[in-house]
Chains A and B, each alone.
Chain A
Amino acid sequence: NAGVTQTPKFQVLKTGQSMTLQCAQDMNHNSMYWYRQDPGMGLRLIYYSASEGTTDKGEVPNGYNVSRLNKREFSLRLESAAPSQTSVYFCASRRGNEQYFGPGTRLTVT
């Protein structure tokens, strides 16, 4: 039982490049989330998926897209990366009123 896994762990992009952050959970949870963590700002919700087949915007969705591929997987795509997207990205899934977080992806955009 791996919980929530994220790939890659680290990534460096140049401005304008695109990439997809992958997230998978093996706990059969319905809801999944993407957050970004920036120093002094806590975690902010980018997008979420309350159940398979649905996605909704969170607090800071601009510059991102998501896909809920199936119940297990929820990916986050940056179409044209910008330096302002340098951050640590966390995926989470939820059972009841507890969210379970992955280990994070540290992304640097130069």
Chain B
Amino acid sequence: AQSVTQLDSQVPVFEEAPVELRCNYSSSVSVYLFWYVQYPNQGLQLLLKYLSGSTLVKGINGFEAEFNKSQTSFHLRKPSVHISDTAEYFCAVSDEVQGAQKLVFGQGTRLTINP
């Protein structure tokens, strides 16, 4: 069975500082990895995804993530955060991208940007 662990439930950072949100997964088969963002009182939207190929993937709003198979990690990074990045971030894994694509989500990390 697949599972996702987000190691930090809350991450406070100052504006313009770098940030890393950590995600570890477990899966016995091929994995496809995603980061979704949820702004206050909204649904989730896709930030970025890893399906195959280059292990460094870039997403929207200046975020990027690196797939590390040996460490079973998919950490999300941004070199300089903005107040508007305040949101909850979810890492998710799926073992298929065709068919049903059932996502398994982590617990979420609340990112708070302080001025």
A interface residue numbers (CB < 8 A to B) = 4, 31, 40-45, 48, 50, 56, 58-59, 90, 92, 94, 96-104
Which one, B49, B102, B107, contacts A41 given CB within 8 A?
Answer: B107
CB interface residues, B 84-113, toward A, < 8 Å: 90, 97, 99-108
> With a CB–CB cut-off of 8 A, which chain A residues contact B108?
40, 42
CB interface residues, B 36-52, toward A, < 8 Å: 36, 41-46, 49, 51
For the complex formed, measure the closest distance between the CB of A60 and the CB atoms of chain B, giving whole angstroms.
12
- Interface size for B (C-beta < 8 A) is 25
Which one, A58, A98, A100, A103, contacts B102 given CB within 8 A?
Answer: A58
Known: A101-B45, A103-B43. A42 touches B106 (CB 8 A): yes
B interface residue numbers (CB < 8 A to A) = 4, 6, 9, 32, 36, 41-46, 49, 51, 90, 97, 99-108
Q: CA A97 – CA B98 in complex, angstroms?
A: 7
B101 touches A103 (CB 8 A): no
A50 touches B43 (CB 8 A): no
Interface of B, secondary structure class, is loop
Q: CA A96 – CA B51 in complex, angstroms?
A: 12
> With a CB–CB cut-off of 8 A, which chain A residues contact B4?
42
Q: Give the top 10 A-B pairs by smallest Cβ distance, nearest first.
A: A101-B43, A42-B105, A97-B97, A43-B105, A101-B44, A50-B100, A42-B107, A98-B46, A103-B43, A42-B108
Interface centre among A40, A42, A44 (most CB of B within 10 A): A42
Q: CA A61 – CA B51 in complex, angstroms?
A: 28
B100 touches A99 (CB 8 A): no
> With a CB–CB cut-off of 8 A, which chain A residues contact B44?
43, 90, 92, 99, 101
Known: A43-B44, A98-B46, A99-B46. A48 touches B90 (CB 8 A): no
